[in-house]
Structure 1
Amino acid sequence: MSVSLNILFDLSTNSFSYPFTKQHFILYKKVTSQYNDPDVLQYVNLLVPERIRKNIKTQLKTEDIFEVVNFNNYGYGDFHSTNNLDIRNDSTDKEGDEVCNVKHDSSSTSFSPSFLDSLKELMVWFKKDFMRWVDKNPSCDNCGRQLTLEYIPGNTWKIRGIENYYCSFCNAVFSFPRYGKIKEIADNRMGKCSEWTFLFGAILNSFSIKTRIVHDFLDHCWNESFIGGRWVHIDSTLAFPISFDHPSYYEKNWNKKYIFVLAFSESNLEDVTISYTMEWNQVLNRRSKLKQTQLEKFKKFYQQISLK
């Protein structure tokens, strides 16, 4: 028995323990199915500037792309924490490079410097030039005052809802549709972490870099790409290099208290929590309050979702 993709995004239909909803699972199944759609992949690939496309394709043809080098010596490991900084709102120095004061994730491994250069170029373009970040409490572009939100819920994965923002002072209106279709996200060029993750995952897949979606079921999602024989953390909402292979960043700097961190591809759902925590015993303690069959229920439901 398959589950219809037209299920309403209504929590009354959910039988999982909050915050795990069937609607999330249906959404991720359908989004990751687009990662195997040649038409979608060609569409998003052509959005990338030609120079960046050529650089990445050149690196992917290089035999020593994953040659082991010292990551710290390459200049991406010398971070010293002075506070817990959310670098989605990153600052820049006078040359325009991101300044990162974060707790260093010592799990970062080594990759080819030329590959890292190409990946950095892609991520900086995506974050700074292509996408627009939508704040939780956005201000008016015209007068700078706080906007009032009117939320219209959607009824399918294709459009989860519409966030309409109004300025009571200058009457400006800002509309933000929560799309699930990657082409529409690409055309809209704005979003929160889910839209950024969905689209950037498609872009990486368009270069034949196998990429999936990861969700912590707290308040954030990101990507993982299969590079050098393992799944590597990639978060397009963060400033490079923290956006690449720093899986402990959220727990260290955002004080995350995980129960499940799940990775989604079209055909599979995987529990990857252990890759993102240094407090595994605390995670197990939180899980002990749930039914032992919870993960099995997630996987069974995910396999039942129809893509028709």
Structure 2
Amino acid sequence: EYKDSMTLRGRAEGKETKFEIPKGDLIIAGKFHFQSSSQSKPGHLMAITFTTKSGKTGTVGELKSDAVAKDFKAPAGHYLSGFGGDRNLRKSGGFCSMACLYTKEGDEAKANLWIESKLAPMESLPVYRDLLVKRLLAWFKGGFFRWTVVKCEKCGGDTRTTGMDRPSSEELKWGAGRVEIHSCNKCSHPNRFPRYNHPGKLMETRMGRCGEFANAFTLICRSLNIPARHVMDWTDHVWTEVYSEELKRWVHTDPCERAFDAPLLYEKGWGKKLSYILATWACGVTDVTRRYTRKFQEVKLRRNLTSESEFQKLIQNNDRILKAMLPPVLRNQVQQWDAKENLELAATLALPDRDAKESESAGRITGSVEWKAARGELGNQRQMSPEDLARVVMAASTASDNAKVFSIHVRAGLWVDFMEFIKEGGIKRHYGTPGGSVRKSFEIPRGEYLYRIEARMGDHLDSVRFHTQKGTSSQWYGSSGGGSYRVFEPPRGKMITGLRVANGMCPPILGIITANAPKDAVMDDKKESKESSKKSKSTPQAREKARKALAGYIKMISRGCGAPSCSSDHCRSNPKSTVYKNEVKDRAAIVQEALILLKKKGLKGLCPGVRKS
């Protein structure tokens, strides 16, 4: 009998004897005991002695002193899976080794006894599979995969993140959603770092951050027939979960941190404010947030993308679709696992808020101390004194405030719910709560920086738009109505690196955080300003032309040119205009908008109706 299944050899007669094999142990060797040649019917099997991997021995059957013994042993890495007797030599799956136990000279019917051994499958080795996962974590983190360190391809020097770029067709082929630009600190050469998502490509590059770590490690686990799920935390982290046959549950596994079964690491060790955590694989989708927190009632207050009932309905629908595509046997197995997991997750609500285990009490180990401090993931850094830790946090805060913004992600609906500033060095700054719909990101071109923010707000941030010092502008995010209009600009020679906002959902902007603009960009601005000034002061006719053009833009923005067939997107007379729609602007906002258009488009931006007038 093995794993609740029974195979009978011979007739079910005689006295029954048993040998209990310890859980997780396997039979690897033993002896067959059979009648001696003096018996009338030689070759009858009288007893079997088994030896397990742990060294435990036991005998079943009736062992007599005159019995003849024959040793058997499974090959290395194998275990005993069956045995039997037959006139013909037999092989039945896996590796078979034969033992001719008795051959009487002149007897045509040779008595052959064989043992069958198979390579131990992962599901029959629950203890060893968990040990294998732990060793995989050590191997993966210890050298196979490495944290992102981009060296200059030209001179080999250190680099820093300075911007983003669109992926090329070759990079898109391997699932690169975006490309980071890392400029060399020595020669300023721009180096591309595509954020690949294809796990096959990651087996070549073997470098990345938590997303690439989890992607590649999940692939390796699945290739070894270990059930594995990809887990995404909405507060910007990903890891893997593997199913443990020994523990009969899904187990947290973080290849970035070399962590095994330490689910409270992020809440207790890193100090993260969790919200949504989802586990996905080809067999289903599961909301596993409760596994990673002991403060679920607090976490629920941060789960505001939609109502809790709608969110659970969405998860269940997607899970049902995936399970419908599974073979019946696998579907039944996964449903049994899901039923146990639902009971486990429900039980966490009744668990008290306990102290973290040692493996759950440490801060993040991947990334530089400054980078972790900027992300708020230092947690408990035991190797640092409180004074050193305070200095690091202060330095990280200063570095974050001084880092240039190169991409802005926005979620908005009726109001602007959420803004994320992506900055140099991979630093991210979040404002608001992640509700609303995902809008098109505003990518700041190379050589430009965030210089101006327009906003309409009252108790909430109704709408917002971003501008660079060279006039590159984003779309309006949010609704066209709203409260009072405000413009935020830094002093000359400065750039916007962050915001000061109120607490709560859709928070209004209270102020801006500024830092010195890059020297090369400031020099370019001064050069352009001088050239523009020379051009504008060259002749009275040029100044008069600029004045009329500005008046034309003001007319287009405020009331339109009046032509029913106007096609300019910036003219209110165009019924198909997507820029202003029914938005109302005060006089100051209209003049500022007109100045930006004049600088950016010149006379070419004026619609035909305004040109005629």
Q: Please indicate the TM-score interval, normalised by the length of the shorter structure.
A: 0.5 to 0.7
* Alignment match, 2:144: 130
**Which stretch shows the higher mean deviation, 203-212 or 251-260?**
251-260
Could you report, residue by residue, the CA deviation over 1:12-56 in whole angstroms, capped at 9, with x for unpaired residues?
Answer: xxxxxxxxxxxxxxxxxxxxxxxxxxxxxxxxxxxxxxxxxx89x
**Structure 1 contact 147–167 (Cα < 8 Å) conserved:** no
1:291 aligns with 2:312: no
Match for residue 287 of structure 2? 271
Residue 152 (structure 1) aligns with: 166
Could you tell me how far apart the structure 1 residues matched to 2:221 and 2:244 are? Answer: 11
From 182, 186, 209, the equivalent of 2:203 is 186
Matched, 1:234 2:253: yes
Distance 1:159 1:61, change over 3 A: closer
Find the counterpart in structure 1 of residue 242 from structure 2. Answer: 225
Does 2:212 align with 1:195?
Answer: yes
Question: Given the superposition, is the C-alpha separation of residues 288 and 160 from structure 1 closer, same or farther in structure 2, using an over 3 Å criterion?
Answer: closer
* Corresponding letter in the other structure for 1:130: F
Cα offset, 1:235, TM superposition: 0.6
Code of the aligned partner of 1:261: I
The answer to whether the aligner puts 1:118 opposite 2:132 as a matched pair is yes
- Give the TM-score normalised by the residue count of structure 2: 0.29
- Please state how far the C-alpha of 1:175 moved relative to its aligned partner: 2.5
1:47-126 paired onto structure 2 within 5 Å: 63=124, 65-66=125-126, 112=127, 115=129, 117-126=131-140
Contact 2:241 2:251 survives alignment (8 Å): yes
Q: CA deviation at 1:291?
A: 2.1
Gaps of 5+ in 1: 1-53, 67-111
Query: Cα offset for 1:253?
Result: 1.4
Q: Which amino acid is the alignment partner of residue 132 of structure 1?
A: R
The alignment status of 1:247 with 2:247, answered yes or no, reads no
* Bigger fraction of residues in strand: 2
Question: Any gaps of 5 or more consecutive residues in structure 2?
Answer: 1-76, 79-117, 326-613
Which has more helix, going by share of residues?
1
Give 1:211's match in structure 2, choosing from 228, 232, 243.
Answer: 228
Greater relative contact order structure (CA < 8 Å, 6+ sep): 1
Contact 1:152 1:162 (8 Å CA) reproduced: yes
Provide the rounded CA distance (Å) in 1 between the counterparts of 2:200 and 2:159.
32
* Counterpart Cα distance in 1 of 2:284 and 2:135: 30
State the TM-score, normalized to the length of structure 1: 0.56
1:58-86 CA deviation, whole Å, 9 max, x = no partner?
A: 885595x44xxxxxxxxxxxxxxxxxxxx
Distance 1:173 1:268, change over 3 A: same
Q: Which has the larger radius of gyration?
A: 2
**Identity of paired residues, percent?**
30
Contact 1:261 1:272 in 2 (8 A): yes
Q: Residues 208, 300 of structure 1: CA spacing in aligned structure 2 closer, same or farther, 3 A cutoff?
A: same
Counterparts of 1:253 and 1:199 in 2: how far apart (Å)? 25
Q: What letter corresponds to residue 292 of structure 2 in structure 1? A: Y
Please name the residue that 1:72 is paired with: none
* Structure 1 vs Structure 2 CA RMSD: 3.4
Q: SS state of the match for residue 276, structure 2?
A: coil
